[in-house]
Amino acid sequence: MINLYYDSRTGNVDRFITKVTQVTGWTAIRIQEDMEITEPGHLITYTTNFGKVPEKTAQFLTMQSHLIHSVTSSGNRNWGRNYAVAADKITEEFEIPTAMKFELSGTLEDINQFIDIIKNQYYDSKRGSEKLDIA
C-alpha cells in the first residue's frame, strides 16, 4: 500500500489528493501538528508566501523526514521562479527527492503523471533515487 501524507491550505492539494486516491485507492493522510507516522510514504504540499515551505509541513518533516520517500508541491506559475519552490527547498534541506510539481489543483495529466512516477519510477527503489529528480 502506498501512503500519501499531505498539507493543504486553500484546497488545491486536497483536490489533487482526492483525484489521486479515487483512481488508485492509495491511503492519504492530512498532516496534523505534532503528527507521528510509522509507515513510509510520499509528501504532497504547497508553496506559500511566494516561495516558502508551509510551517506545518516543515514541522512534520523535522520529525518524520526519514519516512518520506519523495516530495511533490503545488504552486502557481504566476509566482515565476518561486513556482512550487517548496519542493526544491525540501529536497535541499531534507535530501528528499522531488517527484514533481503541479499548478494549483493539477490537471488530469498531472494526476496521471504523479501516479506513474510513484508507481513506476519510485516504487521499491531507494529513497535517494535519481530517477525522481525530474521536476
Q: What is the CATH number of the domain that holds 97?
A: 3.40.50.360
CB within 8 A of 15, min separation 6: which ones? 105, 106
pLDDT in tens, 28-77: 999 998 899 999 999 999 988 878 899 999 999 999 999 999 999 998 88
Q: How far is CA 52 from CA 14, 77, 80, 120, in A?
A: 19, 15, 14, 29
Which pLDDT band holds residue 103 (cuts at 50, 70, 90)? confident
The yes-or-no verdict on residue 95 having pLDDT over 80 is: yes
pLDDT value, residue 126: 47
pLDDT value, residue 132: 43
What is the number of domains present in the chain? 1
The range of the structural domain enclosing residue 42 comes to 3-132
State the cell numbers at 90.
Answer: 525540501
pLDDT value, residue 122: 61
More confident of the two residues 126 and 90: 90
Percent share of the chain, pLDDT over 70: 90
pLDDT value, residue 105: 86
Long-range contacts of 57-64 (CB under 8 A, 24+ apart): 57/7, 57/31, 57/86, 57/90, 59/33, 59/34, 60/5, 60/7, 60/31, 60/35, 61/90, 61/93, 61/94, 61/96, 63/36, 64/5, 64/35, 64/36, 64/37
The yes-or-no verdict on residue 128 having pLDDT over 80 is: no
The yes-or-no verdict on residue 111 having pLDDT over 90 is: yes
Q: How far apart are CA 119 and CA 20, in angstroms?
A: 12
Which residue type, as a one-letter code, is found at position 127? R
